[in-house]
Amino acid sequence: MSELLLTGISQVVTSFGQGPKRGAAMGQLQVVPEAAVAVDAGGISWIGPEREWRGSAKSVIDLGGRAVVPGLVDPHTHAVWAGDRLADFEARSNGATYEEILAAGGGIWHTIRETAEKSSEEMAALALPRIEALQRSGATTIEVKSGYGYTLEAELRMLEAVRLLQEQTRSRLVPTLLIHICPEELGERQIYREMICNKLIPEVARRGLASSVDIFVEHHAWSAEDARIVLACAQAAGLSIKMHTEQFQRVGGLELGVEIGALSVDHLEVCSPEQCGLVARSKTIATILPGVSLHLGLTAAPGRALIDAGAAVAIGTDLNPGSSPLFSTAVAMGLAVRLNGLTAPEALTACTVNAAAALGLSNVGRLEVGMQADLLVLESSDWRDLPYTLGQNMVREVWVAGRKQAA
Ligand code: NIG
Ligand code: FE
């Protein structure tokens, strides 16, 4: 006898088969009409047309003819920060650019000044409502980066804050150590880099505070040469690699990421057609962040060209105060259709199974026997209302490991 049976589902919609989906396979969804899902021990024990269910269940919940999709995976957020970036917003609306503000010691530097002095408890308290907003928007797995600490102690506090948050929410939180920005002056930069390699990364690995290391490769941040050294330390410590790259300039980040087997290369606003091919021929996931294009007015990453070249594309909110104050993973999905040229089925794949792969996870992101019972009950009988609707939450219920979350 199963613990729970969900019935009255107009359609269950999910990607096929294991592993990330590349190219044309991203658009192929499995749609089971008039479906039922059985849940045992937090996982899916049966799924199929309701009329084919032959078992029995202790508890049966009728979902009233609504569509069900996998819980979304948000593979790129900076949900822990203090202060705000309202002055940047105003300056940019008056013509200043994000890069100019950063180069002048504002932007990310400003958020570091606001965040680094906070305790991990204070950081977690600031981040919890943001995590809850992402969860209400459909995210059941959420990556959270450090990167506003800068010093050894403050970076560790940021990751400790994520650990506290893991106890305060039932969303699955995946912490990433982000090596964000660095001193301009070469000597100081080398000293800082050595601290990262000799102290920060080993300590994070020893304490299991993050599963990946991310680095921002950009004209006003790290060079590809520095990134190669830092990421080699990360890999030597047994951590996976993610990268912020090709956001404003092409300085070799994408090529490095593909070469060293990064889990994902993220941003890609200035990714060239040749680079689309390079990612497509690799195992690395291409994570696009449409909230950044919208908020900063950047050319959107070439999502269509990446998929046409055969790449596996994921979508994230990049929730952060400076470049993407976007508190909805579902809206990120809808924006990728409008701004990056994805079809709705491709966007669902990008927000589920491919986003899970961008975090190295294979037990979430699809609805199939043996997977975690992380699923969304939508307001609509047609799943396409999820990427279609803007400004109204089409997620009615969020289930994590077979348990319905409080709204
Ligand atoms: O993903 N580009 C670098 N990092 C973040 C923005 C952080 C910030 O502006 O505070 C990003 O866009
Ligand atoms: Fe980011």
pLDDT over 90 (residue 16): no
Answer for the pair 82, 114: CB distance below 8 angstroms, yes or no: yes
Rounded distance, CA 21 to CA 357, Å?
9
What is the CB < 6 Å shell around ligand 1? 78, 107-108, 111, 216, 244, 247, 292, 318, 320-323
Q: Which ligand is nearest to the CA of 298?
A: 1
The reported pLDDT for the residue numbered 407 is 79
How far apart are the CA of 347 and the centre of ligand 2, in A? 19
Q: Is 105 annotated as a binding residue?
A: no
Rounded to an integer, the average pLDDT of 134-146 is: 98
The reported pLDDT for the residue numbered 286 is 99
How far apart are the CA of 29 and the centre of ligand 2, in A? 28
Place of tokens 């309202």: 86
Rounded distance, CA 76 to CA 141, Å?
10
Rounded to an integer, the average pLDDT of 181-189 is: 96
How far apart are the CA of 147 and the centre of ligand 1, in A? 9
| Angle at CA of residue 14, ends 141 and 310, nearest 5° | 90
Place of tokens 């919208």: 294
pLDDT over 90 (residue 79): yes
Q: Is 59 annotated as a binding residue?
A: no
Angstrom CA distances, 377 to 67, 108, 395, stand at 6, 37, 6
Rounded distance, CA 398 to CA 407, Å?
8
DSSP 8-state assignment for residue 105: T
Rounded to an integer, the average pLDDT of 3-16 is: 97
pLDDT in tens, 195-207: 999 999 999 999 9
What are residue 142's DSSP bridge partners? 74, 173
Answer for the pair 15, 362: CB distance below 8 angstroms, yes or no: no
pTM score of the predicted model: 0.98
pLDDT in tens, 349-377: 999 999 999 999 999 999 999 999 999 99
Residue nearest to atom 6 of ligand 1 (CA): 323
Q: In what order do the strands lie in the sheet with 2-15?
A: 43-49, 29-40, 2-15, 57-70, 375-378, 395-400, 403-404
The reported pLDDT for the residue numbered 96 is 97
Phi then psi for 80, rounded to 5 degrees?
A: -100, 110
How far apart are the CA of 8 and the centre of ligand 2, in A? 39
**pLDDT grade, residue 230 (50/70/90)?**
very high
Is residue 188 helix, strand or coil? Answer: helix
How far apart are the CA of 107 and the centre of ligand 1, in A? 9
pLDDT in tens, 26-65: 999 999 999 999 999 999 999 999 999 999 999 999 999 9
* Domain range annotation of the chain: 2-70+366-404, 73-357
Is residue 15 helix, strand or coil? Answer: strand
Q: Which ligand is nearest to the CA of 98?
A: 1
CATH of span 73-357: 3.20.20.140
Q: Is 247 annotated as a binding residue?
A: yes
Rounded distance, CA 274 to CA 316, Å?
23
pLDDT in tens, 317-352: 999 999 999 999 999 999 999 999 999 999 999 999
Give the CATH architecture of domain 2-70+366-404.
Roll (2.30)
**pLDDT grade, residue 263 (50/70/90)?**
very high
Residue nearest to atom 5 of ligand 1 (CA): 323
Of 305, 264, 287, 307, give the one whose Cα is nearest residue 25.
Answer: 307
Residue from 115, 296, 323 to probe ligand 1 pocket by mutation (most atoms less than 8 Å from CB): 323
Burial track 64-90 (b if 16+ CB lie within 10 A, e otherwise):
eebbbbbbbbbbbbbbbbbeebeebee
How far apart are the CA of 81 and the centre of ligand 1, in A? 11
Of 350, 97, 116, give the one whose Cα is nearest residue 247.
Answer: 97
Q: Is 148 annotated as a binding residue?
A: yes
The reported pLDDT for the residue numbered 300 is 98
Q: Which atom of ligand 1 is nearest to the CA of 108?
A: 10
